Structures are given as C-alpha cells and as structure tokens.
Chain A
Amino acid sequence: MMQNTTVMQPLTALAALQSVLENSFAHIVPSKKEEFERRILDLEVALIEDLGRQTNSYCNGGWEEIRDQWRELHNKYERLQIRRQLLHPVSPKEFDAAIRWMAGRGMEKELALLEEVKKKASPFPMEFSPEKINALIDSAQQRIRERLSDPDRVVSEGELTYQRNKEVWDQEYAGEFIAIWNGEVVVHDRDEAEVARKLSELQRHKEPFRAYVVEVGSPNMTAHGPHGGAHRMTRTEDTQP
C-alpha cells in the first residue's frame, strides 16, 4: 500500500527529534542541564503555539473540533514551564510572576510546590525576604484552596473526567460508587457510606479537598467536601460538560 509521505514525513521528524534530544542529554555539561531542559521546554511551548496557528490557518473549517486538544496541549506544557520557573527562576520578576500564575491557575500539585518553595532559601534575597515570600505564597495558596473547593468546579471537572473515562470505568467499577479527585478514581466501593468513610480518611492525610462521587451507570452524583459535607445532584443537561 502506498504511504502518504507528505503527511508522514513531518510527523516522523518530530518523533526522530525527540529521540535525538533524549540521546543528547548524556552529552550536556551537568551544571547546564537545568538550563538546557528549560530552553527545550520554552521551544516546545513556542512550537505548540506556532503549529497551532499554522493548523488554524490551513484548517478546512474544522478548527472548533480540534481547538480543545491544542489548548490542552498548550496548557499542559505551559504549566510545566511555570513550575520550572518557580523552582529555578532566572529573575525576581519571573519568580514573582510564577507565584501569581500559581494563584490564578494552580491546582493541588502547585499547592505542594509552593510549600516546597517556602522551605527553600530565597532565590533573590535582596528583592524577596523570607517574610515577603511567605506572605505572597500564603495569599496564592489561599486562592488555590478557594478554587479547589468551589463546588461548581468540582462538579464540572469531575463530570468531565468521568465522561472521558466512562467506557473503561463503567466496566471496571460496575455497580460501585467511585470518588474522583484530581483526574483519578481515589476511592471506590459498592457501599456509598463506605466511600464517604474512606474519603474522610483520605482527606485527613492529604490537603483538604472536595471529591466528586458518581454511582457508576446511574445519574446520581455527589460532591463530597473536606469536612464530611456533601452536595447531592442528579445528572441533567446543565451538569453535562
């Protein structure tokens, strides 16, 4: 069968590039590895942005069908980029902007990352005293916690995760209640009360969080708060992502 070489060549080039880059890591000066990785990540994000624009400009009118995939890809690598900027900032301005970004878009993982930064020595002692860093991070963490426990967000993101994994989870957890948090099933059981108990146990050991509980195959769902509170709903068109 004839291969469509015009389509295959650029896709093959990207995969080949990945392989060459992986091999190249062994030859980078150890003290420069961090900088090298950072440069690659910057280029990857820029490439996603550029290829997204190119795809859009050559699109046959179906951009709406693929734009979410581009956005998700972009957001994923942008998040990695900001996490790296927070841990290894090259300037006070970048450090400051990374913390503010976390306040606006940070999730569970970023809460932990900010905690890590608090414990480290200030990267720029002249501009950021430990007190200043702590105050800024405390405000950012407060914003993240507010966002994480917003029931609307828990429902929309929990439902989106469930719908994405429905085919697999409906088989794997048939007849069970599943608690979804952070894109994963964290607790499952045939008994709903047992799910609530296990969730409380989990919430005691982790950062307080709100989980989305679904009875697999049923329209009933519940958002479980960090202190035993629960909000029950029935899936309708309004709650569908």
Chain B
Amino acid sequence: MKLLSRIEEIILLSIWRLDDGAYGMAIREEVIKATGKKWLLGAIYGPLGRLHKNGYVLTFQGEPTPERGGRSKVYYRLSREGIKALREIQRVNSVIWNGIEELEFKEE
C-alpha cells in the first residue's frame, strides 16, 4: 500500500476527529487549526478528491441550506481503507519517531 502524504494524513485525521460534522469548510477549519497556516478550500479539495477516488473516504449528503445556494453539505467519513491507511501511517510514524526525545540542533 502506498503511504499517505502528510496533507492526506492530516485531512483523514481531521475527518476522523470531526466525526459526523466533517464537511469541506469544517475540515478546512480543522486543518488550519492543526497547522496554523491559511489553507484555501481548493488546497483541501485537491487531496480530498484524490482520497475519495482512492476509496479512503466515503461521502453522504446532508440537508440543503440557504447559505450554500440551496446545495446540501457533503459530509466525509473514513472508509475501512482509510482507517487501514491511517493505521499504517501511524505505525510508520511510531517507528521512525521511536527513541527520539530531544530534537535539537547540535553545534560542533
């Protein structure tokens, strides 16, 4: 299985955290919170679309709301594959971070 990229990992985790409220805008807020940087919606949707295409996330529609021009919110949820991919990246992360306590620049 191909490893997730960093942004994919962050998005998938955001979706997991948001649980039932994971739609585009909310995911963006979550990503901004986690990274502390401004993310354009488009920047979120690029990877999100890819994740969807690869089957890591599932979508379902909510109620239409007026501030969306009558469109429904599209909610995202992790699929079985998505969970598996996250576990994998978690494993990789724990392996490579293992034993690293203090990360400082050493001056010679």
- The answer to whether A and B interact is no
